Structure 1
Amino acid sequence: MSDVFERLKKKTRPSVPARDTTLVKVQHENLLNDQITEFSHLPEKPKPDLDSEEVINDKVSTSNQEQQVELPQIIRRTIRLEQDIDIKLDTFCNVKKITRDTFLEAAFIVCSENEELLQEVLNQARKRYQQRKLAGEQRKFQTLAKKINVND
């Protein structure tokens, strides 16, 4: 058994030739001649003016860059909502043909422009934060109690 293992270890593996990793393929003279021969029966097309194409491409890329600068940067966030509010918000957004994200952004903008409304929203948010904090602590204690009872 060890003899077979030793032979396998000593066995040389075939070498693989190095790969061509250049970005632009170099055309060999033979390949170029083959293409000329293959396409020689076709009528020769006039070559387009590259300078005019570059100007057009430059204008297009400039306008695309300007559009990209104007676009806001969007990030992805996950939010947790109460089940009832989640259902109501989904229904509301579907009826109004908006997304949750755009609704949240618009609500924030309106609240930040109206101080009275902002204070009302903040008071509601603080109450909800305290409720969620208590609910989280209760869940934590229930989980600990289950673990203690299982180990007894």
Structure 2
Amino acid sequence: MSDNVLNQLRNKRNRPTVTPRQDALVPQEQPQTTEQSLPPQPTPITELANPTADTIAELQAELEKYPQTRRHSAIVLEKDLDQKLTQFCKELGITVEVFLEAAWTVASADNELVEKITTEAKRRYDQRKRVGQIKRLITMLTNPSK
């Protein structure tokens, strides 16, 4: 009987394939009549079929011109603030992280602005600590056996 079940599973796995459909949302390539008047488009890096040592060296040299990045821990924000900031950044076509980088770069040049931001940050930090304490107390009181 187990051979019969195994055969049934194998038969289910060998389903007929469906021919790919034409997607109406993907634009079809059309020949351009004004090809000579358009400036040549730079080749995306993903389309480089055979990168040469020179190409790689050029790309590495270009990469060295930009500041290095480092992944930082996850950011926890107030719910309403997160929604507003995310929407704001989405409309501008940037990420929240890039916005925070730029905001720090601009703010750090103004000592008075840094002082205002620091005061607000300390207030929010104390508030977050209190929320954490309250949550911990609630957990301890609802689970006294632990």
Specify the TM-score bucket, using the shorter chain as the normaliser.
0.5 to 0.7
Task: Spell out the pairing of 1:77-96 with structure 2 (5 A cutoff).
Answer: 77=72, 78-96=74-92
TM-score, with normalisation over the residues of structure 2? Answer: 0.59
1:67 paired to 2:80: no
Seq. identity, %:
34
Query: What are the ranges of 5 or more consecutive residues in structure 2 without an aligned counterpart?
Result: 1-50
Aligned residue number for residue 16 of structure 1: none
Quick one: distance in 2 between partners of 1:89 and 1:79? 12
SS at 1:113's partner residue? coil
Segments ≥4 residues shifted beyond 4 Å: none
Quick one: distance in 1 between partners of 2:60 and 2:89? 32
Quick one: distance in 2 between partners of 1:92 and 1:101? 12
1:125 paired to 2:113: no
- Which residue identity does 1:61 align to in structure 2? I
The number of aligned residues is 94
Quick one: distance in 2 between partners of 1:67 and 1:124? 39
Greater Rg over alpha carbons, structure: 1
CA drift at 1:58 = 4.3
Aligned residue number for residue 106 of structure 2: 110
1:141 paired to 2:137: yes
Q: Does the C-alpha gap of structure 1 residues 57 and 97 become closer, same or farther in structure 2, counting only changes over 3 Å?
A: closer
Residue-by-residue CA offset, 1:118-149 (whole Å, 9 max, x unaligned): 1100000000000000010010011000111x
Quick one: distance in 2 between partners of 1:75 and 1:65? 18
Task: Spell out the pairing of 1:22-101 with structure 2 (5 A cutoff).
Answer: 57-77=52-72, 78-101=74-97
Report which of the two has the higher share of helix: 1
Q: Does the C-alpha gap of structure 1 residues 140 and 69 become closer, same or farther in structure 2, counting only changes over 3 Å?
A: same
- Which residue identity does 1:120 align to in structure 2? K
SS at 2:81's partner residue? helix
Query: What are the ranges of 5 or more consecutive residues in structure 1 without an aligned counterpart?
Result: 1-55
